[in-house]
Structure 1
Amino acid sequence: MPDRLPAPVVDSHTHLDACGAVTAADVAELADRAAAAGVTRMVTVADDLDAARWAARASTWDDRVWAAVAIHPTRTKDFGEAEQSEIERLARQDRVVAVGETGLDYYWDYSPPDAQQEAFRWHIDLAKRIGKPLMIHDRDAHSDVLRILDEEGAPETVVFHCFSGDEDIARRCVDAGYVLSFAGTVTFRNARALQAAAKLVPSGQFLVETDAPFLTPHPFRGRPNEPYCTAYTVHFLADLRSEDLEGVCSAVSQTAERVFRLPSVTSG
């Protein structure tokens, strides 16, 4: 376990079901372990319809957990009206705080690019219609993601989950007012371009996440990840940006509260 952070933070993107959680007791156990490290709240994210239903339910089991629902771009091959109707129903629930993760993934070939782009456009429209932030998955597709956001008109709040771009992409996102969320990948020794990007993002436009159980931060890369590991990434970012650790924690929490409309720490 990492040392407890000096101020609470939010894991803005995790997959509690993929971490092994099934029941309310499982969710509480993961949340308790995270809280011991100072990670007091989290957003559990869906990538398919079953996961979306589970995430929406799980967000009602524990006050420290919220949800985001969408169909992952790699699963959009058969994304039709029935799936759209169910995702919209779930996305409108009170404790579902974002539409995501949606976007484009050109690394895997599970879904054709045309199907991914059509689904991405639909999720953008959904986020705008219901007034919730859009949580983007962008893998090897920076140009198309930014182009489609421009063509469709971005929602008021856009979060690039597990940001993976370089300084140029980061500047374009920052200039557009988007929020960049950094996962354990920013701690990897070979992530020089990503680290340079993380340095230039203004306070108030970045979040931290685990994407657990994937992308465990250095030096535990390759081992199972959990929300408590957010603390390692926060420590790394504070050092990388030459900023006070407590200040980074507070900035991350305030940004998460604004983006996801969470109650402030002082109000519980």
Structure 2
Amino acid sequence: MSSKRSAGREAPPPPEPLTPLIDAHTHLDACGAQDADDVRAIVDRAEAVGVQTVVTIADDLASARWATRAAEWDPRVYAAVALHPTRANALTDDARAELERLAAHPRVVSVGETGMDLYWPGRLEGCATPAEQREAFAWHIDLAKRIGKPLMIHNRDADAEVLDVLRAEGAPDTVIFHCFSSDAAMARACVDAGWLISLSGTVSFRNAHALREAVPLIPAEQLLIETDAPFLTPHPFRGAPNEPYCLPYTVRALAEVVGRPAEQLAGETTANARRAYRVA
């Protein structure tokens, strides 16, 4: 198993099925998957509770290669490729060429996750500087526009900076803010721009006050749902290993926040994901 997985706690029990669902952002390699059998086992567990499709996300070149292969191994899996903002200093000419090649693969449905992360510089050894992140973000934006695929954004403590780059470079037709964790002002900015907002298990966290105030501002047609597994396992399993099969827990938590039936949210977010990623 990958060392990125949460340790020391049992995995959550399978939730009551809720269908149809698409996990708009997960990391199958970080969930411990290494080969086709591992991938199949994870998506089998997800499908048993209604999660029909998953999009596995890369954060470095090795992960991008693996995610593309994983999308070939199982028809329920698609991929996104990019360098994570904290690894933006690895965007060499060779890396650009390889990412362009991988991003053109028919099973790769998005360029991501890219963006800005101002939390980790100064805390994480070797983390890309804000200037390096900005340059790489601009390059990924251009790539998404050139190949006509959605841009998936990682934004941590960088609302103003991310908006500034998007405005300066010109956003692609489809923009997805993954694991949205900002406040109502940022939600309004994204909604007004027509961008998609993807919510994770953090919407179930009782202390995520700003996020839970922002969520009702998101129109149904701009909403996606994700696990970001193996991270951000929803309440009451916070800190336990997360997997795509846990997605119904997050949908039901979201239903409580917005006062809409979970079944309705499942249908709406699945339709949005199919439209954004152009998958059946």
TM-score with structure 1 setting the length: 0.97
1:138 counterpart = 2:127 = no
Task: Write out per-residue CA displacement over residues 51-85 of structure 1, whole angstroms, 9 at most, x where no aligned residue.
Answer: 00000000011111000000000011231110000
2:166 maps to amino acid: L
**Structure 1 vs Structure 2: percent identity of aligned residues?**
58
C-alpha distance in structure 1 between counterparts of 2:61 and 2:190, whole Å = 29
- TM superposition shift of 1:200: 1.2
2:61 maps to amino acid: L
Match of 1:184 in 2: 201
Task: Write out per-residue CA displacement over residues 178-201 of structure 1, whole angstroms, 9 at most, x where no aligned residue.
Answer: 000001111111011101111110
Match of 1:253 in 2: 270
Partner of 1:103: helix, strand, or coil? strand
Match of 1:148 in 2: 165
C-alpha distance in structure 2 between counterparts of 1:67 and 1:192, whole Å = 32
Partner of 2:189: helix, strand, or coil? helix
Task: Write out per-residue CA displacement over residues 91-143 of structure 1, whole angstroms, 9 at most, x where no aligned residue.
Answer: 00000000000000010011111100000000000000000000000000010
Unaligned runs of 5+ in 1: 264-268
1:165 maps to amino acid: S
C-alpha distance in structure 1 between counterparts of 2:274 and 2:90, whole Å = 34
C-alpha distance in structure 2 between counterparts of 1:73 and 1:244, whole Å = 36
Match of 1:228 in 2: 245
1:76 maps to amino acid: A
Match of 2:60 in 1: 48
The structure 1 residue matched to 2:78, chosen from 57, 63, 66, is: 66
1:239 counterpart = 2:242 = no
1:85 counterpart = 2:102 = no
C-alpha distance in structure 2 between counterparts of 1:78 and 1:50, whole Å = 12
2:98 maps to amino acid: E
1:11 counterpart = 2:23 = yes
- TM superposition shift of 1:37: 1.4
2:71 maps to amino acid: S
1:198 counterpart = 2:210 = no
Partner of 1:194: helix, strand, or coil? helix
C-alpha distance in structure 1 between counterparts of 2:257 and 2:131, whole Å = 38
1:86 maps to amino acid: E
1:37 counterpart = 2:49 = yes
C-alpha distance in structure 2 between counterparts of 1:183 and 1:247, whole Å = 17
TM-score with structure 2 setting the length: 0.93
Match of 1:122 in 2: 139
The within-5 A match list for 1:208-227 is 208-227=225-244
The structure 2 residue matched to 1:100, chosen from 109, 112, 120, is: 112
1:258 maps to amino acid: R
Unaligned runs of 5+ in 2: 1-13, 122-126
C-alpha distance in structure 1 between counterparts of 2:243 and 2:90, whole Å = 31
2:152 maps to amino acid: M
The structure 2 residue matched to 1:111, chosen from 128, 133, 151, is: 128
Give the count of matched residue pairs: 262
- TM superposition shift of 1:8: 1.1
Pairwise CA RMSD of aligned residues?
0.6
Partner of 2:100: helix, strand, or coil? helix
Match of 1:266 in 2: none
- TM superposition shift of 1:247: 1.1
2:17 maps to amino acid: R
